[in-house]
Amino acid sequence: MEELAADVIPLLDCPFVLFGHSFGAIVALDLAHEILARTGLEPLALVVSGSGPPGSAAVRGVPLHLRSDRELIAELRLMGGTLSDVLESEDLMALFLPLVRVDSEMLALRSPGPRLNLKCTVLSVAGTDDANITDAAMNEWRRVTSGAFEARRFPGGHFYEYSGGAALMNFVALRSLRLAAAANAHQMSAEAP
Protein backbone atom coordinates (compact mmCIF):
# COMPACT_ATOMS: atom_id res chain seq x y z
CA MET A 1 0.00 0.00 0.00
CA GLU A 2 2.91 2.31 0.72
CA GLU A 3 4.11 2.11 -2.90
CA LEU A 4 0.64 2.72 -4.32
CA ALA A 5 0.15 5.75 -2.05
CA ALA A 6 3.58 7.10 -3.03
CA ASP A 7 2.55 6.89 -6.69
CA VAL A 8 -0.90 8.44 -6.16
CA ILE A 9 -0.17 11.27 -3.71
CA PRO A 10 1.72 13.48 -6.21
CA LEU A 11 -1.39 13.43 -8.43
CA LEU A 12 -3.68 14.81 -5.73
CA ASP A 13 -3.58 18.50 -6.61
CA CYS A 14 -7.38 18.70 -6.91
CA PRO A 15 -10.41 17.05 -5.28
CA PHE A 16 -10.49 13.31 -5.98
CA VAL A 17 -12.71 10.24 -5.71
CA LEU A 18 -11.43 6.72 -5.04
CA PHE A 19 -13.28 3.80 -6.67
CA GLY A 20 -12.65 0.13 -6.02
CA HIS A 21 -14.57 -2.90 -7.23
CA SER A 22 -14.64 -6.29 -5.50
CA PHE A 23 -11.15 -6.85 -4.01
CA GLY A 24 -10.36 -3.32 -5.20
CA ALA A 25 -12.93 -1.87 -2.77
CA ILE A 26 -10.69 -2.92 0.12
CA VAL A 27 -7.65 -1.55 -1.72
CA ALA A 28 -9.47 1.79 -2.17
CA LEU A 29 -10.33 1.87 1.55
CA ASP A 30 -6.73 1.13 2.54
CA LEU A 31 -5.47 3.74 0.07
CA ALA A 32 -7.85 6.36 1.51
CA HIS A 33 -6.46 5.65 4.98
CA GLU A 34 -2.85 5.75 3.77
CA ILE A 35 -3.39 9.08 1.97
CA LEU A 36 -5.09 10.51 5.06
CA ALA A 37 -2.28 9.37 7.35
CA ARG A 38 0.44 10.80 5.07
CA THR A 39 -1.17 14.04 3.88
CA GLY A 40 -4.33 14.77 5.88
CA LEU A 41 -6.26 14.67 2.57
CA GLU A 42 -9.39 12.64 2.02
CA PRO A 43 -11.31 11.85 -1.15
CA LEU A 44 -14.56 13.66 -1.83
CA ALA A 45 -16.00 10.16 -1.92
CA LEU A 46 -14.88 6.59 -1.45
CA VAL A 47 -16.88 4.43 -3.88
CA VAL A 48 -16.86 0.77 -2.87
CA SER A 49 -18.38 -1.61 -5.37
CA GLY A 50 -19.34 -5.27 -5.27
CA SER A 51 -17.86 -5.90 -1.82
CA GLY A 52 -18.62 -5.86 1.84
CA PRO A 53 -16.20 -4.05 4.16
CA PRO A 54 -13.27 -5.83 5.80
CA GLY A 55 -14.49 -8.34 8.35
CA SER A 56 -18.07 -8.23 7.15
CA ALA A 57 -20.09 -11.17 8.37
CA ALA A 58 -22.79 -10.32 5.86
CA VAL A 59 -20.82 -11.38 2.78
CA ARG A 60 -22.11 -14.78 1.72
CA GLY A 61 -20.08 -17.89 1.18
CA VAL A 62 -16.73 -19.42 1.97
CA PRO A 63 -13.74 -17.19 1.13
CA LEU A 64 -12.54 -17.85 -2.43
CA HIS A 65 -9.07 -19.02 -1.43
CA LEU A 66 -10.56 -21.87 0.64
CA ARG A 67 -12.70 -23.28 -2.18
CA SER A 68 -11.86 -26.24 -4.39
CA ASP A 69 -11.03 -25.58 -8.05
CA ARG A 70 -14.50 -26.79 -9.04
CA GLU A 71 -16.21 -24.53 -6.47
CA LEU A 72 -14.08 -21.54 -7.42
CA ILE A 73 -14.77 -21.96 -11.14
CA ALA A 74 -18.51 -22.28 -10.36
CA GLU A 75 -18.34 -19.05 -8.35
CA LEU A 76 -16.49 -17.24 -11.14
CA ARG A 77 -19.13 -18.45 -13.60
CA LEU A 78 -21.88 -17.17 -11.28
CA MET A 79 -20.17 -13.78 -10.95
CA GLY A 80 -20.01 -13.36 -14.72
CA GLY A 81 -17.31 -11.29 -16.37
CA THR A 82 -15.16 -14.30 -17.33
CA LEU A 83 -15.67 -15.93 -20.73
CA SER A 84 -16.93 -19.53 -20.68
CA ASP A 85 -14.05 -20.54 -22.95
CA VAL A 86 -11.61 -19.27 -20.33
CA LEU A 87 -13.41 -21.03 -17.48
CA GLU A 88 -13.42 -24.30 -19.43
CA SER A 89 -9.70 -24.18 -20.27
CA GLU A 90 -7.63 -26.23 -17.82
CA ASP A 91 -4.46 -24.43 -18.92
CA LEU A 92 -5.90 -20.95 -18.36
CA MET A 93 -7.50 -21.94 -15.07
CA ALA A 94 -4.14 -23.33 -13.90
CA LEU A 95 -2.78 -19.79 -14.35
CA PHE A 96 -5.84 -17.82 -13.22
CA LEU A 97 -7.09 -19.66 -10.11
CA PRO A 98 -3.89 -19.18 -8.09
CA LEU A 99 -4.13 -15.42 -8.73
CA VAL A 100 -7.73 -15.30 -7.49
CA ARG A 101 -6.76 -17.31 -4.42
CA VAL A 102 -3.80 -15.05 -3.61
CA ASP A 103 -6.01 -11.94 -3.83
CA SER A 104 -8.62 -13.54 -1.58
CA GLU A 105 -6.04 -14.74 0.93
CA MET A 106 -4.31 -11.33 1.03
CA LEU A 107 -7.63 -9.72 1.94
CA ALA A 108 -8.36 -12.35 4.58
CA LEU A 109 -4.94 -11.93 6.20
CA ARG A 110 -4.57 -8.15 6.00
CA SER A 111 -4.12 -6.32 9.28
CA PRO A 112 -4.03 -2.58 8.68
CA GLY A 113 -3.56 -1.60 12.33
CA PRO A 114 -4.92 1.55 13.98
CA ARG A 115 -6.45 4.13 11.67
CA LEU A 116 -7.68 7.67 11.61
CA ASN A 117 -11.44 7.93 11.17
CA LEU A 118 -12.57 8.78 7.63
CA LYS A 119 -14.96 11.71 7.26
CA CYS A 120 -15.51 11.47 3.51
CA THR A 121 -18.73 10.33 1.86
CA VAL A 122 -18.89 6.58 1.24
CA LEU A 123 -20.96 5.29 -1.67
CA SER A 124 -21.57 1.53 -1.55
CA VAL A 125 -22.72 0.13 -4.89
CA ALA A 126 -23.42 -3.36 -6.24
CA GLY A 127 -25.38 -5.25 -8.86
CA THR A 128 -28.99 -6.19 -8.18
CA ASP A 129 -28.21 -9.81 -9.05
CA ASP A 130 -24.92 -10.10 -7.10
CA ALA A 131 -25.94 -12.92 -4.77
CA ASN A 132 -22.72 -12.70 -2.73
CA ILE A 133 -23.19 -9.10 -1.59
CA THR A 134 -26.18 -8.69 0.68
CA ASP A 135 -27.84 -5.38 1.44
CA ALA A 136 -26.51 -5.82 4.98
CA ALA A 137 -22.94 -6.10 3.66
CA MET A 138 -23.40 -2.97 1.57
CA ASN A 139 -24.76 -1.08 4.57
CA GLU A 140 -21.88 -2.19 6.79
CA TRP A 141 -19.66 0.24 4.84
CA ARG A 142 -21.38 2.97 6.86
CA ARG A 143 -19.06 2.14 9.77
CA VAL A 144 -15.87 3.20 7.93
CA THR A 145 -16.82 6.89 7.93
CA SER A 146 -18.38 9.53 10.11
CA GLY A 147 -19.42 11.31 6.89
CA ALA A 148 -22.37 10.78 4.59
CA PHE A 149 -23.24 7.30 3.37
CA GLU A 150 -25.38 5.99 0.53
CA ALA A 151 -25.97 2.47 -0.78
CA ARG A 152 -27.35 1.78 -4.24
CA ARG A 153 -27.77 -1.19 -6.56
CA PHE A 154 -27.58 -1.17 -10.35
CA PRO A 155 -28.97 -3.78 -12.76
CA GLY A 156 -26.66 -6.76 -13.25
CA GLY A 157 -24.52 -9.28 -11.41
CA HIS A 158 -21.13 -8.98 -9.76
CA PHE A 159 -19.66 -7.29 -12.82
CA TYR A 160 -22.70 -5.04 -13.33
CA GLU A 161 -20.46 -2.17 -14.41
CA TYR A 162 -19.96 -3.89 -17.77
CA SER A 163 -23.66 -3.69 -18.61
CA GLY A 164 -24.71 -0.74 -16.44
CA GLY A 165 -21.55 1.32 -16.60
CA ALA A 166 -23.23 4.49 -17.83
CA ALA A 167 -25.73 4.54 -14.94
CA LEU A 168 -22.95 3.85 -12.43
CA MET A 169 -20.68 6.57 -13.85
CA ASN A 170 -23.57 9.06 -13.94
CA PHE A 171 -24.35 8.28 -10.30
CA VAL A 172 -20.71 8.68 -9.20
CA ALA A 173 -20.19 11.81 -11.32
CA LEU A 174 -23.35 13.49 -10.02
CA ARG A 175 -22.51 12.73 -6.37
CA SER A 176 -18.91 13.88 -6.93
CA LEU A 177 -19.99 17.17 -8.50
CA ARG A 178 -22.37 17.84 -5.63
CA LEU A 179 -19.63 17.11 -3.09
CA ALA A 180 -17.11 19.28 -4.95
CA ALA A 181 -19.58 22.16 -5.11
CA ALA A 182 -20.31 21.87 -1.39
CA ALA A 183 -16.59 21.73 -0.54
CA ASN A 184 -15.93 24.76 -2.75
CA ALA A 185 -18.76 26.74 -1.15
CA HIS A 186 -17.46 25.83 2.31
CA GLN A 187 -13.94 26.94 1.40
CA MET A 188 -15.19 30.21 -0.10
CA SER A 189 -17.24 31.03 3.01
CA ALA A 190 -14.23 30.28 5.22
CA GLU A 191 -12.08 32.66 3.16
CA ALA A 192 -14.68 35.46 3.04
CA PRO A 193 -13.87 38.55 5.12
65 Cβ contact partners less than 8 Å away, ≥ 6 residues apart: 100, 101, 102, 104, 105, 108
Residue 59: pLDDT band with limits 50, 70, 90:
low
20 φ, ψ (degrees, to nearest 5): -140, 135
The per-residue DSSP string of 111-123 comes to ---S-PPB-SEEE
Q: What mean pLDDT is predicted for residues 114-124?
A: 88
Please check whether residue 90 lies inside any domain of the structure: no
36: containing domain: 2-59+115-191
Domain membership flag for residue 109: no
Residue with the bigger pLDDT between 44 and 75: it is 44
Confidence of residue 190 (pLDDT cuts 50, 70, 90): confident
- Residues designated catalytic: 22, 158
Residue of 96, 102, 149, 158 whose CA lies nearest to 126: 158
Per-residue pLDDT, averaged over 158-185, amounts to: 84
Backbone angles phi, psi at 124, to 5 degrees: -100, 120
Between residues 29 and 53, the one the model is more confident about: 29
Domain with residue 122: its CATH number is 3.40.50.1820
Judge whether residue 180 has pLDDT over 90. Answer: no
- Higher-confidence residue of 114 and 175: namely 175
Do residues 58 and 136 touch, judged by C-beta distance below 8 A?
A: yes
* Domain assignment present for 85: no
Q: How many domains does the chain have?
A: 1
- 103 domain-assigned: no
> What is the pLDDT at residue 60?
57
Is 17 part of a structural domain of the chain?
yes
Residue 172 lies in a domain: yes
Band (pLDDT 50/70/90 cuts) for residue 6 is very high
